[in-house]
C-alpha cells in the first residue's frame, strides 16, 4: 500500500486547478487535503475526487500537519513557503522565487531527478518554457554534447493566468463583432496578434522570460558554459507552448540517430512525419503530460546543427504535472 500523506495546494487559479486535477488523475496518495488561496477566494468550494473542499485563506499557520505543500506560484510562495517548511512540509514551488537560489534544487524528473536528494525543504519547479526545452535537450546532450541553443517560443495565454485566458476570449469576440478592443492583462491586444514581449525587459534587451530560460537551463543541465539565446512570443492560443529550437551539438548526429534518441527518451513523444502532415500542435497536446517533438531536420546555417519543433501543455507538464512528478519522486526516494 502506498504511504499516504497530507497535501496542501496553495492557489486556485489555472495552475492550482491543474494541480488538483493531476493529483487525482495520477492517484497520488493523499491522506488529507487543504486548498489554500487568497482572502478573496476563501470560502469558495473546489472538488477533488468527488468530494468538496472549502478554500481557506493562506496564513503562516496553515501548514500544521502538512507533509507536502504544492504552491501554484505568485506572491504566496515568497510569503508562505518558508512558513510551510518551518512546519515540516516539503514545498514544491511553481513561482520564480527560488529557482536560481543555489540552495534550492530546480528539478525536471526526466532530466535531473538526482537533485531532489539535496533539497532543504523547498524544491523549485522550472519555468514552463524551460521544462519542455530541457526534456528535449537532455537526450541530445547525453548523446553528443551541446554547444549552442537558439529558441523562439510561441507561448499560450494561459501561461499568464486565468485572467489572460478570459481576455483572449473577450478580445476575440470584440474583434469579430467590430467593437473597440481594450487590453488589460497584456500591453497590446492579444487576439489575432503576436506579442514579442513576455515579462519585463532587462537592460540587455532580453525579457525576464527569455533570461529565465537561459539561467534555468544552465542550472538544470549543470553547464554554466552552455550558450543559449531565446526570443519569447505570446500568441493567441489558450493552452500549449510551442518552441522552435535550433541546437548545435559537439558531435555530429544524423536526423535518424536523433529520431532514435527521442524514441527512447523519457517523457518524449516523437511526432515527426511531414509527408503525412504529422507534427505536434497545441490543440493536440493540450491535456497531455509528455513533451512532443517533430519537424526534425538538419540546420542549414550551422555545422552539426539540428532544428526541431517542441510542444507541451504549459499547465500540465509545464507546471502541475512536473510538480506532481517531483512529489512522486520524493515518495519513491523515501524523502517525504
Point out the residues that are catalytic: 128, 241
Helix (H, G, I), strand (E, B) or coil at 281: coil
Q: Are 167 and 157 in contact (CB under 8 A)?
A: yes
Instruction: Give the orientation angle of helix 321-332 with respect to helix 14-25, to 10 degrees.
Output: 40
Phi-psi region of 269 (alpha: psi -120 to 50; beta: other; left: phi over 0): beta
Helix (H, G, I), strand (E, B) or coil at 245: strand
Closest CA to 25 of 287, 293, 309: 287
CA angle, 284 then 285 then 290, to 5°: 145
The 8-class DSSP code of residue 201 comes to B
The dihedrals phi and psi of 271, each to the nearest 5 degrees, come to -130, 85
Strands (E), the chain: 5-10, 30-37, 45-48, 51-54, 56-57, 68-71, 90-93, 122-124, 146-155, 227-234, 241-249, 268-270, 291-298, 305-312
Amino acid at each position: 500500500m502506498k504511504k499516504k500523506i497530507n497535501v496542501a495546494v496553495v492557489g486556485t487559479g489555472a495552475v492550482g486547478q491543474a494541480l488538483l486535477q493531476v493529483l487525482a488523475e495520477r492517484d497520488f496518495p493523499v491522506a488529507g487535503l487543504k486548498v489554500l488561496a487568497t482572502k478573496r477566494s476563501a470560502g469558495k468550494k473546489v472538488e477533488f475526487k468527488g468530494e468538496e473542499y472549502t478554500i481557506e485563506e493562506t496564513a503562516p499557520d496553515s501548514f500544521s500537519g502538512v507533509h507536502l505543500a504544492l504552491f501554484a506560484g505568485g506572491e504566496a510562495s515568497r510569503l508562505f513557503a518558508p512558513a510551510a517548511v518551518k512546519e515540516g512540509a516539503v514545498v514544491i514551488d511553481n513561482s520564480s522565487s527560488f529557482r536560481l537560489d543555489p540552495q534550492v534544487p530546480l528539478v525536471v524528473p526526466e532530466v535531473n531527478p538526482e537533485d531532489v536528494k539535496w533539497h532543504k525543504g523547498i524544491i523549485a519547479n522550472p519555468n514552463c518554457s524551460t521544462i519542455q526545452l530541457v526534456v528535449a535537450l537532455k537526450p541530445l546532450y547525453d548523446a553528443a554534447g551541446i554547444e549552442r541553443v537558439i529558441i523562439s517560443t510561441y507561448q499560450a495565454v494561459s501561461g499568464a493566468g486565468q485572467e489572460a485566458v478570459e481576455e483572449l476570449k473577450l478580445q476575440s469576440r470584440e474583434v469579430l463583432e467590430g467593437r473597440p478592443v481594450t487590453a488589460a492583462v497584456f500591453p497590446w491586444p492579444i487576439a489575432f496578434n503576436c506579442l514579442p514581449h513576455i515579462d519585463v525587459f532587462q537592460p540587455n534587451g532580453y525579457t525576464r522570460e527569455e533570461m529565465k530560460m537561459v539561467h534555468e537551463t544552465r542550472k538544470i543541465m549543470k553547464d554554466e558554459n552552455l550558450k543559449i539565446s531565446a526570443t519569447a512570443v505570446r500568441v493567441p492560443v489558450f493552452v500549449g507552448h510551442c518552441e522552435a529550437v535550433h541546437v548545435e551539438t559537439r558531435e555530429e548526429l544524423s536526423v535518424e540517430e536523433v529520431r532514435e534518441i527521442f524514441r527512447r527518451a523519457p517523457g518524449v513523444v516523437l511526432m515527426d512525419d511531414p509527408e503525412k502532415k504529422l507534427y505536434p500542435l497545441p490543440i493536440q497536446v493540450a491535456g497531455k503530460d509528455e513533451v512532443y517533438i517533430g519537424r526534425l531536420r538538419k540546420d542549414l546555417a550551422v555545422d552539426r546543427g539540428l532544428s526541431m519543433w517542441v510542444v507541451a501543455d504549459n499547465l500540465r507538464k509545464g507546471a502541475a504535472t512536473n510538480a506532481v512528478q517531483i512529489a512522486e519522486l520524493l515518495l519513491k526516494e523515501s524523502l517525504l
